[in-house]
Structures are given as structure tokens and as C-alpha cells.
Amino acid sequence: MKLIEFTTKGLYCRQADIYIDPWKKVNYAMITHGHSDHARWGHKHYLCVHSSVPILKHRLGAEMNIQGINYDETITINGVKFSFHPAGHITGSAMIRAAYKGEVWVISGDYKIENDGLAEAFEPVKCQHFITECTFGLPVYSWSPQREVIDDINRWWNGNVQNKRPSLITAYSLGKAQRILSSVDTSIGPIYTHGAIDQMNKVYKRMGISLPETTHLKNSFDQKELSKSLIIAPPSTVDSSWGKKIKNPSLGIASGWMTIRGNRRRRGGDRGFVLSDHCDWKGLLTAIKESGAQYIYPTHGNTDTFSQYLNEVGYIARPVKTEYNDNSLNETSVE
């Protein structure tokens, strides 16, 4: 019996009777991070790192039974030692380590190895079995350093200010939005956000994370005010009645999928900014190497291809079917 099993409800540790990021309702769930495909509603008990607790409560309801734990702190359940380690994906994201009788597993959740200055920075964790995401597990995905991408965003914003056009940038409301907010040049103009992002910013601020001043862009506003602004909105809201009220914006899309020209053209974006909260191809390979694991289980993304490659270069890899979101085409795709 392996320490972690792949069941129809999710990743399961039988010895401790707990699930990790389950997609069906369970009694006890350990959660890697707050994105909706990993932290689902309806479990009886939740455990996540402290900085993820307010995020989960905001998304799932304050009445939910959500316990916090420190990074690197160990909790033992029926002999299995669990600990949470920074995954660098978003604020409060963790990789979960499980150890029992010398068998060590790490469940990555989502992760990125570049330090974005906002999320707790990724730390490799040694293990024998590594369950890894591979959202961008193809050699075409290669990220430029964050600084360069943000410089690009600043230049685009500046250019739009010259042309008196609002700069509308899409970013997922948890993580990406705050990452952009905390790194762009705020001297260029005022920053507005969609309500969902405004709410999430408040959650961040209550945790003591400082973010630049922003205005919640409500349903009625003065178009003229927007001409110098950067507006951050979740992807799905661009075509909503709210999004359509913004006249003649330049549309920027911040996502790893923007690597591919066809993706940007399909979404009708004026500019694609390749900015992802996941690893690129080289990042994944680095993380896998640093884990020291022999057994690799790619979950969401190009799992078949990625596994085949890992097998060729000497790992023992087996793709695992999960219900984590690997859909590049879904506008609200979690990234």
C-alpha cells in the first residue's frame, strides 16, 4: 500500500485518513492553496497554512471549520508526519510533505520557483515521491524574469496614457491581480479594480500585506477619469456588462498561455503578457531534480507528454488523472 493513493475523491492518505485538495466532499482535507479547483466547498475540516486561512474563509464562508498551521511545522496523524512548505504560487500556497516509516511524499499543488516578491518564496523539499503539477509542461513555455514582463506592462500602460486609452488588464482575482498590483509603476496613473479583486485585496490587507492604493470600479463612473488608468479585472468580466462600460480600452492579458500567439488572438487581446504563477518547462525540471524524487506523478497539464519525457530521462513517471483545472481554454482558468 502506497502512502498516498489516487482515488475518485482526490489524493488520499489511508494511514491518516485525510485527503489533499479533494474534489468531492470529505471529512478532513489538507489544502495546498486557495484557488477554487484545489480548495473546494463542503469538507468538514480544513487544514492550510495561516496565510491561506483568511483566503479560504473569504471564498468558502467564515463559518467553515478551517485550521491554520505554520510553514515547516509538523503535525502527526496516526503516525504520519505532515508539514507545509512554501510553493511560491500565490500568498499562502504550500507543498504538503507526508512521511511515514521512511516513505516520503510531496504533493506540490501549484507552484513556481521564481520569487515574485509577494507570495512566500518556493523552497524545494526532498522526497522519494513527488506529485507535481505540469500546467506548462512543454518546452515551448519559457518565462522571462518578472521584472522584464512588468517593464513591458508599464510601457504599454504609459503608451495608452499618451493615447488617452484606459489600460484594461485581465488577471485572476486571487494571486495574479495582487502580484501585478504590487509590482507595476504606480506613478503612471491611478489603478482601478473589479469588485472581486477589490474584495480579495481587502483580505490581503487585513493580513497586513501592503498593496498600493486602488479604487473599486463600480457600475457607474466617469469615462474621462479612466483615460490614464490601469484597470485590473478577472478574465471572465471583460465581456460582462461591467466590462463593456469601459470605452475603447487597450486589452492586455497576463497569463502563461499568452506565450502562444494563437491563444492571444483567439481572446481578442491587444497585448499578451507572459506572466504565470506556474513554472515554465525548465522550472518544472529544476523543481523535480531538486526534490531528489525518483517517482514522479504529473497531475494537471500536459501530463502524458511530460511523463513520457521524464521516463526517457531516467525518472519513473506516471500521469495521474485529477480534477484540477488544466483547461487552457476556460476564460476563468485558474492560474
Partner 1 sequence: MKSFANLFSEIDASTKTRAKVKALEKYFTHAPDQDKLWTIALFSHKRPKRTISTTLLRTWAAEVAKIPTWLFEESYHVVGDLAESISLMVYDGTYFASDKTLTNWINNIQKQRDKEEEEKKEFVIKAWKELNQKEIFLFNKLITGGFRVGVSQKLITKALAKVLNQEENQIAHRLMGNWSPDTTTFESLLIDENIHADLSKPYPFYLAYAIEEDPASLGPISDWQAEYKWDGIRSQIIKRSNEVFLWSRGEELVTDSYPEFTSLKEVAQDGFTIDGELLVIKEGEIQSFNILQKRLGRKKVSKKMLSEYPCAILAYDLLEYEGEDIRNHHLNNRRTLLKELIQKWQSESLDIPIIFSDSIDFESWEQLKSIRSTSREKHAEGLMLKHVNGVYKIGRKKGEWWKWKVDPLTIDAVMLYAQRGHGRRSNLYSDFTFAVWNEAGNLIPFAKAYSGLTDKEFGEITKFVNQNTIERFGPVRSVKPELVFEIAFEGINESKRHKSGVALRFPRIKRWRKDKPASEADTLENLKALLN
- Cell 506592462 belongs to residue: 153
Residue 225 parent element (H or E): helix 223-226
| Binding status of residue 300 toward partner 1 by CB under 8 A | no
Reduced to 3 states (helix: H, G, I; strand: E, B; else coil), residue 254 is strand
Residue selected from 61, 117, 139, 212 as contacting partner 1 according to rule CB under 8 A:
139
| Binding status of residue 262 toward partner 1 by CB under 8 A | yes
| Binding status of residue 42 toward partner 1 by CB under 8 A | no
- Give every CB contact of residue 201 below 8 A, 6+ residues apart in sequence: 177, 178, 181, 193, 211, 214
The span from the CA of 34 to the CA of 144, in Å, is: 26
The three grid cell numbers given for residue 227, joined into one nine-digit string: 483615460
The three grid cell numbers given for residue 244, joined into one nine-digit string: 463593456
| Binding status of residue 162 toward partner 1 by CB under 8 A | no
> Quick one: 3 or 251, whose CB is closer to partner 1?
251
> Quick one: 25 or 282, whose CB is closer to partner 1?
282
For residues 3, 122, 279, 314, the Cα torsion angle rounded to the nearest 10 degrees is -50
Least distance CB 39 / partner 1 (angstroms): 22
CA 244, distance to chain mean position in Å, is: 27
| Binding status of residue 224 toward partner 1 by CB under 8 A | no
| Binding status of residue 140 toward partner 1 by CB under 8 A | yes
- Burial category of 231 from C-beta neighbours within 10 Å (exposed 0-12, middle 13-18, buried 19 and up): buried
Taking the chain, what is the end-to-end CA distance rounded to the nearest angstrom?
A: 33
| Binding status of residue 265 toward partner 1 by CB under 8 A | yes
| Binding status of residue 305 toward partner 1 by CB under 8 A | yes
| Binding status of residue 206 toward partner 1 by CB under 8 A | no
Nearest by Cα to 31 from 14, 15, 16, 10: 10
| Binding status of residue 266 toward partner 1 by CB under 8 A | yes
For residues 222, 227, 229, 230, the Cα torsion angle rounded to the nearest 10 degrees is 110
Residue selected from 75, 121, 260, 320 as contacting partner 1 according to rule CB under 8 A:
260
> Binding mask 99-138 vs partner 1 (x if CB under 8 A, - otherwise)?
---------------------------------------x
> Binding mask 268-297 vs partner 1 (x if CB under 8 A, - otherwise)?
x-xx--------------------------
Using the rule CB under 8 A, give the single segment among 17-25, 90-98, 180-188, 264-272 that binds partner 1.
264-272
> Which stretches of the chain bind partner 1, using CB under 8 A?
138-142, 144, 257, 259-263, 265-266, 268, 270-271, 302, 305, 308-309, 312, 327-330
